[in-house]
Amino acid sequence: MSSTFDTLVVTVFMLSTCMLAAYSLHLYVLVWLFHRRHPSKAADQRAFIEHYRATTPPEEWPAVTTQLPIYNEADVAVRVIHAAAAMEYPAGKHCIQVLDDSTDETRLLIDRAVRRLREQGVDIEVIRRENRRGYKAGALQAAMSRVRTPLIAIFDADFVPPRDFLLRAAPLLARDEKLACIQGRWEHLNAEESWMTRAQSLGLDGHFAVEQGARAWNGLLMNFNGTAGVWRKAAIEDPAVGGWSDDTLTEDLDLSYRVQLAGWKIDFCLELACPAELPNTIAALKAQQRRWATGGVQTAVKLLPRIWRARLGLHQKLEATIHLTHYFVALWMVFLCILVRPILVMIDPVPYFWAFVTSWGMMLLATLAPTVTYTYARWVLGRGWSGLRDVPGMLVLGTGLAINNGLAVLRGLTTRGGEFVRTPKSGSTGTSSMMSRYKAQRGQLMWFWEMLLGAYCLANWAICVTSGRWFLSLFLAIYAFGFLRIGWMSRPEAGARRRILIVEDEPVAAPLEPAVKAVSA
């Protein structure tokens, strides 16, 4: 019995370490793929955009509809509407749809902003549904029948598109009729607000400045990130694609892969940057991560069988599998933490010596992968070696969220669709730190389990230190601090002290009826 137990524990332990190592080592591959294409691809995109803008008459530019899906975003709704209206584009070629599913004072703020913009000659309308069926995907799909332009730009409420965004995005779609979408890079409005936002900004910089370019520029399948991109309407409405779907919580990821399986392409432009707000509370970040993790796994369950049956190269199928399952890392981390104690105090290491050497050898090779990847990403973006400053915070945040994300992975394996819980926004920027009036959902006891696992890792760290197992003690120290830090930040008392902002009680003129149109869900 003991031998069977030992073998089972060592097997799961090895599997966990090897899987973590595999995902980490994969980052080296993405860095290489990005690095070999970046100079030529960036120069080519830049040259074509400049040429198109210089030689194409205004009347020949493709018309664009900008869609702004909004749900109870009183802190940021007006900001994104004004930013969208301020974007430069040939006269008569740009219109705006505010897809408003709000049920609070956001409706009044939107109506007032839209009324004033219409008085200034902006082509903008508000589209509201009878219910919120399908959430964001449902709103986007319901509005498709009202789109009269070949291109559709999409921005979430917390984004602030720059004035020239469309002028730089549209030429890339005009260049290739089989290009379904051009994805821009996310910039950060409040990256310096706290250690947590700095850590998030580093992780997102790595995703956009390495992962997206590596996939897009090497013939691999990539994803639209739900915002800061421009779509070709014909691709979404292609019968082989089927439009927006709400059977996963990541409608953007789902549509991206279905479009590419239907023969369309998606591209990425590193220099097409769009600032956005990062979640500035741990509850908001956890809500965002739960949605991304659950939806990503739901998309994997839904589409991986189709991907492996499709006429794609083996390298494309493997990369798609790694991409769609990367949130499984959270589960492997939790397994590793739990199994450390049996490994340390209950199992004789001698019979499994080479198993331990192999698994920890792989982990050693993978240890520096995140540091190399994210530091390189910052360097590519022209920010020197600033990534090194934020790597420790990113590691703490990543490990501390493992229980939150691991449970979301399990939910993704066992459910389809679900409620789209939007991430509360506050309106924070680099010069102004604010708190959202909306409260993110909290796991009632998750903070307790995070603290408990942190204490468990801390006790095992002490065992490692006293027994001279320094390499293992380093990982346990990171895990312990990560779980204890995130658990402490997530405790109910921390949330209760949040400052709630109240909307000014000022008279709001009645909205212009022509500006608001209702559609069926």
Neighbouring C-beta atoms of residue 492, cutoff 10 Å: 10
Helices 165-175, 2-55: crossing angle, 10 deg rounding? 100
Annotate 466-495 with DSSP letters as a single string: HHT-HHHHHHHHHHHHHHHHHHHHHSHHHH
Annotate 313-377 with DSSP letters as a single string: -HHHHHHHHHHHTGGGHHHHHHHHHHHHHHHHHTS-SGGGHHHHHHHHHHHHHHTTHHHHHHHHH
- Three-state SS string over 361-373 comes to HHHHHHCCHHHHH
Instruction: Answer yes or no: are the C-beta atoms of 197 and 390 closer than 8 Å.
Output: no
* Residue 164 annotated as catalytic: no
- Residue 391: helix, strand or coil by DSSP? helix
How far is Cα 485 from Cα 400, in angstroms, rounded to an integer? 7
How far is Cα 165 from Cα 273, in angstroms, rounded to an integer? 8
Annotated catalytic residue: which of 252, 254, 267, 390? 252
Using CB atoms within 10 A of its CB, is residue 37 exposed (0-12), middle (13-18) or buried (19+)?
A: middle
Which uninterrupted H or E stretch holds 307?
Answer: helix 282-309
Annotated catalytic residue: which of 100, 101, 254, 390? 101
Rounded to whole angstroms, the maximal C-alpha distance in the chain is 80
Neighbouring C-beta atoms of residue 123, cutoff 10 Å: 16
Sign of CA dihedral 341, 345, 346, 350: positive
Catalytic positions, written as ranges: 101, 252
